[in-house]
Chain A
Amino acid sequence: MRGLWWVLVVLWLPCAWAETVSEDPRQRQVLEIAEQLRCAVCQNQSVAESQAELALDMRRTIAEQLAAGRSEAEIIAYFRDRYGDFVLMRPPAHGSGAPLWWAPLGLLALAGAGAFFYLRRRIGREGDA
């Protein structure tokens, strides 16, 4: 029993020297916003992931604007006003992004209608036979 006790003590000992991890909550907020913005000079990378200078500048601007008390929506609008819808990782469901959202539904409806008429014709033919 005493042996087990010592094993536990030795196992837990390293924890005494462990550094406490601190995370700046603002940094997390910066990255949450940066994830929604496209690094304009990269290929399909968000501002949060990129090490491009433009992405660094954008992350710094996000941090500064958060510190100045601006909301997430205001900050995203700031970049959208300057770089257009292109800067949004998730294209908007209206305007320039509309075809991306609605075209698949349209195609599905078209395919469904095609299948409906095709099958109805086949059923009709089998009924005649």
Chain B
Amino acid sequence: MKLWRLLLIPALVLLLGALALGLLHDPKRIPSPLIGKPLPTMTGETLDGRPVDLATAGQGGPMLINVWASWCESCAVEHPVVVEASRRFGDRVAFIGLNYRDERAPGQAWLDQRGNAYRWSFYDPEGRAGLELGIYGVPETFFVAPDGTLLAKHVGPLDAATLRDYLSRLFGVS
């Protein structure tokens, strides 16, 4: 009658498996339920006061939305990477900024000082567009297909290799 022992082994394996799954899970990697869905319509103003809709900013082409703020330390680290990618691929991919919980003057000064990677930046002082996109913080980057479907989301600063990988894999530009 070793049946109870036979039961013990799968139980232990199951428990260890669940533990391993929990330990290997990267707490920063949170899947967005918006992926695979069309970007919601978000009307508002650009940093310099023009009326825009974030959802159609790609104008029928692929689009990258980079969430940034002048108060965000890691955005300053990431920004040169975005500027460089925009210089190389900006004609094929619409680089759009989302100025998150910031003010116009420091935001504009930040861009003047560090280079403007974006066709324009959506001005979101109250974090409304941020909630609409389900963002946790800055920086975050969204990759949007020409038809407006959200393809991927990257949380945290991008490095050059990661950004190039996203652009070639999702949009076929390199």
Contacts and interface: CB of A to CB of B under 8 A. Distances in A.
Contact of A84 (B8, B11, B32): B32
B33 A41 contact: no
Interface in B132-159: 132-134, 136-137
Contact of A82 (B4, B101, B133): B133
Contact of B7 (A83, A86, A113): A113
Nearest to B1: A121
Contacts, number: 58
A103 interface: yes
B31 interface: yes
Interface in A48-75: 53-54, 57-58, 60-61
Interface residues of A, number: 26
A57 B127 contact: yes
A90 interface: no
Contacts of B34: 81-82
Contacts of B109: none
Interface of A: 40-41, 53-54, 57-58, 60-61, 80-84, 86, 99, 103, 107, 110, 113-115, 117-118, 120-121, 124
Interface of B: 1, 3-4, 7-8, 11, 18, 30-34, 101, 126-128, 130-134, 136-137
